[in-house]
Chain A
């Protein structure tokens, strides 16, 4: 097991390396003078020369890249052009909001998606199956921002749909960390917790639809395959109840493809967060990057994109390890 984890970790290194190369090249590939891109349209020659010196833009590309890597290693992603604050600080203030939103969406997608998939798989071809799978197909065809606005039109009068917390509660709760949900729970601030959950509900629901639909589809097909196997029939023949067979015997083996799909979907979720956060004025990293694009704030775009990609690689690493725990064939180098 440890050998497998180590092997996967080593495999992620060149990918992460490639990610930094791409993020580095991104700012250099933007048409125009990179110094002007960094300093802004109104910078004069003197400032441009200074920017070139400070950022080492007069050096050859490989040297610039080495310097860029060195800075990342020290946790320096440059200074945001919009706020003049270090990009790392801007990100640290916003990424937790994105993490809370994404995790809630994953939770919704997994719980509801697996339940719907199981229900559909028990009676293939039934009306319930057709309705569930039809719904799942509509779910994968929904642009996340459309659903966001439909939710706002439908229940926007009763539910909060912007920000993370009621303004009135801000002073009383005074969050000390950017993880509002966890903090409200730990400190036992129930009024704040209710407000945080209410603010999370609509964006998390909107963000969860596509993964939910994908999970429901994969659960159904995976369950159908497992349910037709001999050991399931044996378990039934032994006199075990249907529920016990489905939940204890079948679902366990059916989880493997579900876990894999969830890993792939994190990439979608992080991207979907960009759009969801724009719709719901969610102060997360995705909205920050979109605003940065509008403002041509290149250091901020670079930092945000770098973090998104790194998160994706790490989550998939985690999924691979989890996969190996669930399925010994993988870590023993079997064919699966």
Chain B
């Protein structure tokens, strides 16, 4: 019970690269909710959400790499 209380009060200690994977579930959540609202037939949901999730993550990685290249060139 104390462990749960500590987690809820103070959270995890994140630093450096381990923070990046946290983007993946958040994007998945956005993709699922958006596609659940949009798809009339729920059977289409898993495939549609997966495609949207891959699109969001790829887009963000591309933007991140692009900005990193620009800042590296400008530095």
Q: Are A and B subunits of one complex?
A: no
Q: Which residues of A contact B (CB under 8 A)?
A: none
Q: Which residues of B contact A (CB under 8 A)?
A: none
